[in-house]
A and B are shown apart, each in its own frame.
Chain A
Amino acid sequence: MTLAAVRRSVQSSGKLDMFVFALTGFLIFLAIFGPLLAPDSIYRSDIGNALQPPSGAHWFGTDDQGRDIFWRLVAGAQATLLSSVLIVAAYSLIGVAVATIAAVGPKWLDELLMRITDIGLALPGLIVALGFAAALGPSLESAIIAKAITGWPVTARLLRSILMQTMTAQYVVGAQVLGASKWRLMTRHVLPNSLDILIVKWAGDIGATVLILAAMSFIGVGAQAPSAEWGAMVADAKGYVSSAWWAVAAPGAMIAITSVAFSLLGDILQVWRDPSLRDSR
């Protein structure tokens, strides 16, 4: 049974929708309040307690510094998930701006922006982001900046084609006949009827960005050692994987769960937006 088939069978019951909403809601709650909930001890070494297996006192065990992994995961949600949300928001803004200028501007500007977008699409995003992050110095901030700069081309390309399509809609032609200015056509008629697809893309993008941000931290160009960012936690613990699997498995599982949860949220929103997809998947 493929993942798609599993998804289809569960999804038809509507229970998956509710589960995904609850899960993503919970993750967002952690991203906002996690650092407030976690005790300060998660940033202090307690070598005597190092590499304890999961137990009642330490639900997910402890890492090589004796820090409680469960609470580090709670606190680290912010570094991983909130950063991903910021990244997606930032590059979506760039993408929307580029797409809008390309769609309404003169043809040469459209061509210019789309060729730049093509270059952006052709470059392997992760590699370029790694380069940026390395140049800016390894830190969570540079990883965020690097991903925000390299993430916009897909949004720009997608939105431009949707804008072009919406611009031929009859109600847009109607507003043109009514004498609406280009600005009014865009802000009142074209954009409001084009942006909803981005909400779908945002959810999926957050899932993908969580994965990339964690990967960058894992490689060492993102969040650095004391941080409870999940990718950094996996990187810290990878040396002990044979003796303390939980120190790698717990943050790894969180990355996977978060990434999948937001991807599924994207799929669900897509169906809500366009119910005709409901039976076709």
Chain B
Amino acid sequence: MLFELAHITKTFPTAQGRITSLDDVSLSVGEGQAVGLVGESGSGKTTLIRCALLLTQPDGGAVTFDGTSMLGATREQVRQFRRQVQLVFQDPFSSLNPRMTVEELVGEGLVIHGIENSAARRRDSVAEMLTVVGLRPDDMKRYPNSFSGGQRQRIAIARALAIRPRLLVCDEPVSALDVSVQAQVINLLREMQKALGLTILFVAHDLAVVRHLCAHVYVLNRGKIVESGSRDQVFDHPTHPYTQALLAAVPIPDPRRRPPRRQPAPAAS
């Protein structure tokens, strides 16, 4: 396994005592896989991502990347981790520094990790990355506020992928976008996964999106993994009542297919 979270526990102190945000959460992501993590708001998704990316120290458990335990890792090990694990945020309007040009944003990782030290080579690299995510290289002199939400998310993906990470964590990357743009971004992620051999941990509350992209699915409810398995297993034969409720809540666009409530939605294409 490329990336493993084992028995992660995280609590937060409040006036009413400690609140358990994550309770013994374990999940693993194999190299080249796309794994989905589904849960509603407040289920602990964001806390899990923060723990997974070493932004918060969990109370207990282990984070292992490529065989290295990352809790209590050395500076150099953390630097290597940052080089290989990247994040795409939910809201492309707040995840891009408004005072940096697209070139600076996409090229920042190349600077930080000393991958391309010459400005000219870096510009070529950025141009190439922009083309890959479907933007024009001419766009690199512009600032993020002159782009639409979907374009911004492409910039964010280019920024994350510019340093060629092995694992991309996506925190609800399309939920802030229009439905028509959602599919474009999801398809882009899917292409990236295939073309670059990228491993993806995809966190979302939208089941249809997860179903389209992820071969393996975890369901998080109130800080616990209540169900996990392959896409077909979880979507066709959910065992946990929470998963069943989630699936029942997915609107089915075709009225003739609606009555048998638990029938799965047709796979989007």
Name A residues whose Cβ lies closer than 8 Å to a Cβ of B: 169-181, 184, 188-189, 192-193
- B97 x A179 contact (CB < 8 A): no
Chain B interface (Cβ < 8 Å from any Cβ of A): 53, 55, 79, 82-83, 85-87, 89, 91, 94-100, 108-109, 112-113, 156, 159-160, 163
Alpha-carbon distance A176/B96, docked complex (angstroms)? 13
Query: Which of A170, A176, A181, A193: most chain B CB closer than 10 A?
Result: A170
How far apart are the CA atoms of A267 and B108 in the complex, in Å?
Answer: 36
Q: CA–CA, A218 to B198, complex, Å?
A: 72
Q: What separation, in Å, do the CA atoms of A270 and B104 have in the docked complex?
A: 28
Nearest-CB distance from A244 to chain B (Å)? 55
Contact B108 A175 (CB under 8 A): yes
Taking a contact as CB atoms under 8 Å apart, the answer to whether A178 and B108 are in contact is yes
In the docked arrangement, what's the CA distance between A174 and B109, Å? 11
Are A179 and B83 in contact, CB atoms less than 8 angstroms apart? yes
Other than the known A179-B109, A179-B113, what 6 A-B pairs have Cβ atoms closer than 8 Å? A169-B94, A174-B87, A178-B160, A188-B100, A188-B108, A189-B97
Q: How far is the CB of A209 from chain B (nearest CB, A)?
A: 29
Contacts of A192 in B (CB 8 A): 97, 99
CB distance from B110 to the nearest CB of A (A): 10
21 contacting pairs across A/B (C-beta < 8 A):
A169-B94, A171-B94, A171-B95, A172-B97, A174-B87, A174-B89, A174-B96, A174-B159, A177-B86, A178-B86, A178-B109, A178-B159, A178-B160, A178-B163, A179-B83, A179-B112, A181-B112, A188-B100, A188-B108, A189-B97, A192-B97
B33 to chain A, nearest CB (A): 21
A179-B83, A179-B109 given; A174·B55 CB < 8 A? no
Using Cβ atoms and an 8 Å threshold, which residues of chain B touch A177?
Answer: 53, 55, 82, 85-87
- Of chain A, the residue at the smallest CB distance from B89 is A170
Count, A-B residue pairs, CB within 8 A: 55
User: In the complex the two chains form, what is the Cα distance from A180 to B163 in whole Å?
Assistant: 13
Partner of A184, one of B95, B96, B112, B156: B112
Docked complex Cα distance between A184 and B114 (Å):
14
With A171-B96, A188-B100 in contact, do A180 and B112 touch (Cβ < 8 Å)? Answer: yes
Question: Nearest 4 A-B pairs (CB), nearest first?
Answer: A179-B82, A171-B97, A170-B95, A170-B94
Cα distance, A180 to B87, chains bound together (Å): 14
- Indicate if the CB atoms of A178 and B112 lie closer than 8 Å: yes
A124 vs B123: C-alpha distance when bound (angstroms): 54
Q: Which residues of chain B come closer than 8 Å to A174, judged between CB atoms?
A: 87, 89, 95-96, 156, 159
B55 partner residues in chain A, CB cutoff 8 A = 173, 176-177
Cβ-defined contact, B86 with A193, below 8 A: no
Q: Is the CB of B97 within 8 A of A175?
A: yes
B244 to chain A, nearest CB (A): 34
User: Which residues of chain B come closer than 8 Å to A176, judged between CB atoms?
Assistant: 55
> Could you tell me the distance in whole angstroms from the C-beta of B268 to the nearest C-beta in chain A?
28
Inter-chain contacts of B83 with A (CB < 8 A): 179
* Cβ of A232 to closest chain B Cβ, rounded Å: 43
Q: How far is the CA of A179 from the CA of B82 in the complex (A)?
A: 5
Task: Name the residue on B nearest A179 (C-beta).
Answer: B82
What distance in Å separates the Cβ of B56 from its nearest Cβ neighbour in chain A?
11
| Cross-chain contact A179 with B79 (CB below 8 angstroms) | yes
Closest A residue by C-beta to B94? A170
Contacts of B94 in A (CB 8 A): 169-171
- With both beta carbons as reference points, the residue of chain B lying nearest to A189 in the complex is identified as B97
Cα–Cα, bound, A179→B79 (Å): 6
Closest CB-CB distance, B260 to chain A, in whole Å? 42
Residues of A within 8 A of B53 (CB): 177
A170 to B172, CA, bound (A): 14
Contact of A170 with B91 at beta-carbon distance under 8 Å, contacts A177-B86, A180-B112 already known: yes
In the bound assembly, the distance between CA atoms of A177 and B86 in angstroms comes to 7
Enumerate chain B residues within 8 angstroms of A180, measured Cβ to Cβ: 108, 112
Complex CA gap A176/B79 in Å reads 11
How far does the Cβ of B156 sit from chain A's closest Cβ, in whole Å? 8
Q: How far is the CA of A177 from the CA of B156 in the complex (A)?
A: 13
A172 to B94, CA, bound (A): 10
Q: How far is the CB of A129 from chain B (nearest CB, A)?
A: 36
Residue ID in chain A nearest B54 by CB atoms: A177
Closest to A196 in B: B99
A32 vs B129: C-alpha distance in the bound complex, in angstroms? 51
In the assembled complex, the CB of A182 is this many whole angstroms from the nearest CB of chain B, namely 12
Expressed in whole angstroms, the Cα–Cα distance for A6 and B184 within the complex equals: 52
| Bound form: Cα–Cα A170–B99 in Å | 14
- A179 vs B109: C-alpha distance in the bound complex, in angstroms? 8
Say how far A6's CB is from chain B's closest CB, in angstroms.
Answer: 35
Q: Which of B87, B97, B156 contacts A193 (CB 8 A)?
A: B97
The interface residues of chain A lying within 8 Å CB-to-CB of B156 are 174
> Contacts of A179 on B, CB cut-off 8 Å?
79, 82-83, 109, 112-113
User: Chain A residue with minimal CB distance to B98?
Assistant: A193
The chain B residue sitting closest to A184, CB to CB, is B112
CA distance A116 to B95 in the complex (A): 35
Shortest Cβ distance from residue B237 to the other chain A in the assembled complex, whole angstroms: 36
| Residues of chain A contacted by B112 (CB below 8 angstroms) | 178-181, 184
